[in-house]
Structure 1
Amino acid sequence: LVRTGFEHLYEVYEKIDPKGARLLEESEPYVLTYLDFPKEHAHWIRTNNLCERLNKEIKKRTRVVGVFPLKQAMLRLVGAVCINQNEEWFVATHFMDKRSLLFEELPQREACTQETIDHLLQVIDSDFKVCREVA
């Protein structure tokens, strides 16, 4: 369903902005990587909460300093925050179970009905119509 929606999105976008559509097409393997993960990981990878949390922590630490005397000082502080956050994620017991990534063959996902696919394509088309009207 997601891949069908992505392909339709590309076709619609190609008519509006061919250069942007090419960029979208080139990014497909990266954008849809999450589909290759086991289903039990969906909770962790469906959003970018990890990135948001990291950015929040960086903002919190840099606001205390205010103005950095040198670029290197800012890089050291942000690097230290990133290293600290990485260590916290590494030892976290509630994060993804790495053993589940070792499966040779991933379980098959449920097939979508044609009705669901048609509904998705209608949503994409209507969203683009709204965007064109706003622009």
Structure 2
Amino acid sequence: MRAIFNAPDRTEADRLWREALTQWRKDHPKLVQWAEAAIPDSLTVFDFPAEHRVRLRTTNGLERINRELRRRTRVAGIFPNPESCLRLVSALLAEPDDEWMTGKVYLNLNP
């Protein structure tokens, strides 16, 4: 799967995907059924410029934010009510939002 998404272009990714399906068809029919339904939608990442693909096909940024939320909410322990949890999480999410709005450009869509 990694080779498919690391392919240099859509043509090569399609070739590698068809090759993988051929190899899996006999031993893993359920996997092939899933892949035939799911992978074509995932390959739309190749419609974007090459420098955007890595950021679009991974969840690294989201995982980093989730780790930070988990770390900070563990310190608080038990919240007295849902609103207090929402206030803390909202405050924590406002920080990366401000950084994205004023700082580093995550995806530059203007050439």
Q: How big is the shift at 1:96?
A: 1.5
Q: How big is the shift at 1:53?
A: 1.4
Q: How big is the shift at 1:28?
A: 1.6
- 1:6 is matched with which residue? 17
> Which runs of 4 or more aligned residues in structure 1 lie more than 6 Å from their structure 2 counterparts after TM superposition?
none
- 1:61 is matched with which residue? 72
- 2:30 is matched with which residue? 19
Q: How many positions carry a matched residue from both structures?
A: 100
Letter in 2 for 1:11: T
Q: How big is the shift at 1:38?
A: 0.7
Q: Which runs of 5+ in 2 are unaligned?
A: 1-11
CA shift in 2, pair 1:88/1:8, >3 Å: same
Letter in 2 for 1:93: K
- 1:97 is matched with which residue? 108
Instruction: Using structure 1 for the length normalisation, give the TM-score.
Output: 0.54
Q: After the TM superposition, which of the residue ranges 27-36 and 64-73 deviates more from structure 2?
A: 64-73
From 32, 39, 61, give the equivalent of 2:43.
32
- Aligned partners of 1:21, 1:80: CA distance in 2, in Å? 43
Q: How big is the shift at 1:42?
A: 3.8
Letter in 2 for 1:44: R
Give the percent of matched residue pairs that are identical in Structure 1 and Structure 2.
33
- Aligned partners of 1:73, 1:13: CA distance in 2, in Å? 50
Letter in 1 for 2:110: R
Secondary structure of 2:55's counterpart equals helix
